[in-house]
Amino acid sequence: MELDSDSSLEITLLYSDSDAEDTFYNASSTFAMDSTDDKTTEAVRQKADPATGAGGISNCADELTDHLSHIHIRDRTQYVIQSSSQTLTTPNWSEATDILHDQPGSRVHATLKRKRRHRKGPKFYVVFLGRTMGVCEEWSVCESWMSGIPHMLHKSYMTHAAAVSAYAYALSRGWVQRWQGHSLTSLQAARMVMPKPEDALTRPAQAYQTPLNNRQAMEAWHVIYKGICPGIYPTYIEAGLNILGITNAVHEVFESLQVARDKFKYALDKGQVKALLPPPVA
């Protein structure tokens, strides 16, 4: 099979992370996110050899087959072929490659989905931003703590110990906020831990596993230039805690930790990094 040198194949494997927990942000807030159906995405890209016009498809197929041998996927694979003029879907790999051959410049996305496994047993909810903050076991209580306000943030954990640990971690960094009237006030721990912004430039990747993210996949790096605790964070929950409801908060998201560090260092050098702390609860 020959491929036009402009053709490319992009294979995206989508499968649910059964360990992921749901995080909720009010849809009307400036940092709106509903990650109750988080997916882990892995991409394998292979460009056809411009000299021979071959090799792109077979190499990608080999990599995909090797990857699939290590995971268990029940749902049927669908290949989505995208070109400038149309989008086609087929469950047949051979047909997808034929279409790619006939339509130079097209892309094929092989989407593999596995239904999320729901764990049995209780969940414990942590409200970080609400009318009332803390840990509760009933969803109805969690809802009541966040009702009637424009900004809210909670995350669920599978054990009470994990929930308490996450709340204490957030409290020590000034990330537990109460919405009162039309503004935020901050609950503060007896001993606050506020890392220096420049610490983010040398912090090892493994140090980003915290009680807050609870083994959540690190798919992006959030740079907080202006927020409660400026720095670099690996998950939506930590980014949201830093900027949700904070006036003039500034942040960006990058796929690479190194790029995130470069951007943050540039902002530090330019004096564009600033902590924006809500007043403490009276």
Q: Is the pLDDT of residue 19 over 80?
A: no
pLDDT bin (cut points 50, 70, 90) of residue 221 is very high
Looking at the fold, whether 226 and 248 belong to one and the same domain comes out as yes
CA distance 122 to 278: 33
pLDDT bin (cut points 50, 70, 90) of residue 62 is low
Looking at the fold, whether 107 and 42 belong to one and the same domain comes out as yes
CA distance 47 to 8: 5
13 in any annotated domain: yes
- Judge whether 46 and 9 are in contact, CB under 8 Å: yes
pLDDT digits (tens, 9 = 90+) for 109-166: 555 444 445 556 668 999 999 999 999 999 999 999 999 888 889 999 999 999 999 9
> Range of 228's domain?
197-275
pLDDT digits (tens, 9 = 90+) for 233-280: 998 889 999 998 888 999 999 989 999 999 999 999 999 999 998 777
Pick the last residue of a domain from 187, 213, 233: 187
pTM assigned to the model: 0.58
CA distance 236 to 36: 12
- Number of structural domains found in the chain: 3
Looking at the fold, whether 201 and 266 belong to one and the same domain comes out as yes
Q: Which residue has the tokens 């294979």?
A: 11
CA distance 219 to 90: 28
Of the candidates 121, 147, 108, 92, the one whose C-alpha atom is nearest the C-alpha of residue 9 is 108
Looking at the fold, whether 93 and 142 belong to one and the same domain comes out as no
Helix (H) or strand (E) segment spanning residue 139: helix 139-146
203 in any annotated domain: yes
> Given 3-state DSSP classes, what are the helix, strand and coil percentages for the chain, each rounded to the nearest 5?
25, 30, 45
Token readout for 259 is 């790029």
Looking at the fold, whether 132 and 164 belong to one and the same domain comes out as yes
CA distance 155 to 212: 9
Interstrand relation of 221-227 and 231-233 (parallel, antiparallel or unpaired): antiparallel
pLDDT value of position 184: 83
The three-state secondary structure class of 11 is strand
Q: DSSP readout, 204-223?
A: -GGGG--TTTTT-----EEE
